[in-house]
């Protein structure tokens, strides 16, 4: 993994976290992104109280006070993948090609998820990359495009 490219691993980068917020991500997280005002760079933070790490929905559990502060949840990659599957029936698959050793992704949209005669609609261009998380990020962005339609 390229630590320079994914400095906040295992937490998604702010652009993915913002997309998740936009589409209703409300799961509890240990970390959040924060800036004192919209012009400042976002920092990855967490809250400890009484020696314990707080796990909160930072997208919803905020005071209703008017402020310039920017704060939103920083879920892990796996949390976003699981949330997309549970909330939008989008199943993201990341696989390694046997011959080329590249990583590729696909998205299956499962209609009528709980019905016995469900349909699976496939999306994705199977982009190849030698970096696993490049595929994860690209697949997440594509999943949000699918939801937006």
DSSP string, the chain: --TTTSTTTTBPPHHHHHHHHHTT----BSEEEEESSTTSPPEEEE-EETTEE--B-TTTS------S-EEEE--BHHHHHHHHHHHH-EEEEEEE-TTT--EEEEEEEEETTTSTT-EEEEE-----BS-HHHHHHHHHHHHHHHHH-
DSSP string, 86-99: HHH-EEEEEEE-TT
Q: Tell me the whole-structure pTM to 2 decimals.
A: 0.84
Whether the per-residue pLDDT at 65 is higher than 60: the answer is no
- Residue with the bigger pLDDT between 100 and 29: it is 29
Q: What is the pLDDT of residues 82-137, one digit of tens each?
A: 999 999 988 898 888 888 788 888 888 776 555 555 555 555 555 667 788 888 99
Q: Contact, 88 vs 148, CB < 8 A?
A: no
What's the confidence (pLDDT) of residue 116?
Answer: 53
Q: What is the mean pLDDT of the chain?
A: 83
**Bridge-based pairing state of the strands 119-123 and 31-35:** unpaired
């Amino acid at each position: 993994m390229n630590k320079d490219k994914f400095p906040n691993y295992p937490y998604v980068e702010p652009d993915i976290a913002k997309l998740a917020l936009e589409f209703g991500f409300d799961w509890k997280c240990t970390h959040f992104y924060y800036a004192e005002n919209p012009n400042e760079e976002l920092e990855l933070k967490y809250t400890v109280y009484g020696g314990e790490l707080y796990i909160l929905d930072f997208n919803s559990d905020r005071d209703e006070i008017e402020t310039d502060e920017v704060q939103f949840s920083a879920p892990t990659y796996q949390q976003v993948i699981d949330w997309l599957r549970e909330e939008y029936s989008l199943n993201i698959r990341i696989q390694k090609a046997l011959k080329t050793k590249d990583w590729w992704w696909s998205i299956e949209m499962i209609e009528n998820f709980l019905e016995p005669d469900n349909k699976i609609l496939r999306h994705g261009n199977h982009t190849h990359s030698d970096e696993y998380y490049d595929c994860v990020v690209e697949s997440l962005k594509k999943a949000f495009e699918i939801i937006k339609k």
